[in-house]
Amino acid sequence: MSEERKLVIPGDLLGKGRAGHGTYEEDDNVFSRFVGLAEEKNGMYFVIPLSGIYDPKRGDGIIGKIQDVIFSKWIVEINSPYDAVLPLSEATEEFIDLTKTDLTKYFSYEDLIFAEVSSVTSNKNVQLSMKSRRCRKLKGGRLISVTPAKVPRIIGKGGSMVEMIKDLTGTQIVVGQNGLVWIRGDNYSIAAEAVTEIEKKSHLSGLTDQIRAMIEEKISKKGEHSGV
């Protein structure tokens, strides 16, 4: 079981164990890297930064990672101080006999999913759904993390920015409102660099043309190096 999350600052000693996200290890001791909320799970310490954290809202499309499978639901990590629950009834329309079916057949530990936030209570109990047509398991690919507030700029008006990156790099890209971006394809590194560049320069005008020029230059150089 997780301990209750506590507020920490950079350099705070969290305990002896393994260093997870947002922490570092020295002489078997684990310390916080950020101002944030600390927790411990099975001897591993994590700190979720308070700056730019994702606050779940109903209707958000998010990328999550399956953390646990419990009877008729999945526990999902969503890059937030709050974990989410995906109930069986929101995961599939099929009738499933739980006495005969292993739920990991559908979603297993560490699987990535694109899901929709179906409800958020006042106590921040977050429920997800896979019933929307846009929801699916994300197979392969890699994740990068961005500031959730910058997600609209990365997507662009009507999806224009992310579609441009996909077209120019030939990659598949899924952007979650929770600040996680999934990218799959041979030009992963170029697409990832474009996304992080947008995050850094989101306040600038004319950004679309800058990103287009950057991608085209890198694609061209890659082609030269490969003899294309």
**Is residue 90 within 8 Å of residue 103, measured between CB atoms?**
no
Within-domain flag for 227: no
Q: What is the CATH number of the domain that holds 198?
A: 3.30.1370.10
Query: Domain residues for 86?
Result: 61-138
- CA 57, 60, 62, 67 dihedral sign is positive
Q: Are residues 171 and 186 in the same domain?
A: yes
Cα–Cα dist 31/14, whole Å:
5
What does the CA dihedral 9, 14, 19, 21 come to, rounded to 10 degrees?
-40
Amino acid in position 102: D
Q: Are residues 134 and 71 in the same domain?
A: yes
Q: What is the CATH number of the domain that holds 22?
A: 2.40.50.100
Q: Are residues 70 and 25 in the same domain?
A: no
Within-domain flag for 161: yes
Please report, in tens digits, the pLDDT of each residue of the chain (228 residues total): 345 678 888 899 999 999 988 899 999 899 998 878 888 888 899 887 766 778 899 999 999 999 999 988 999 999 988 889 999 999 987 777 777 778 888 899 999 999 999 999 988 899 999 999 999 999 999 999 998 988 999 999 999 999 999 999 999 999 999 999 999 999 999 999 999 999 999 888 899 999 999 999 999 988 776 665
Cβ neighbours for 10, distance < 8 A, ≥ 6 positions apart: 31, 32, 33, 34, 35
Within-domain flag for 150: yes
Within-domain flag for 37: yes
Q: Which of 138, 161, 186 is a domain's end point?
A: 138
Domain count, the chain: 3
Q: Which of 82, 111, 138 is a domain's end point?
A: 138
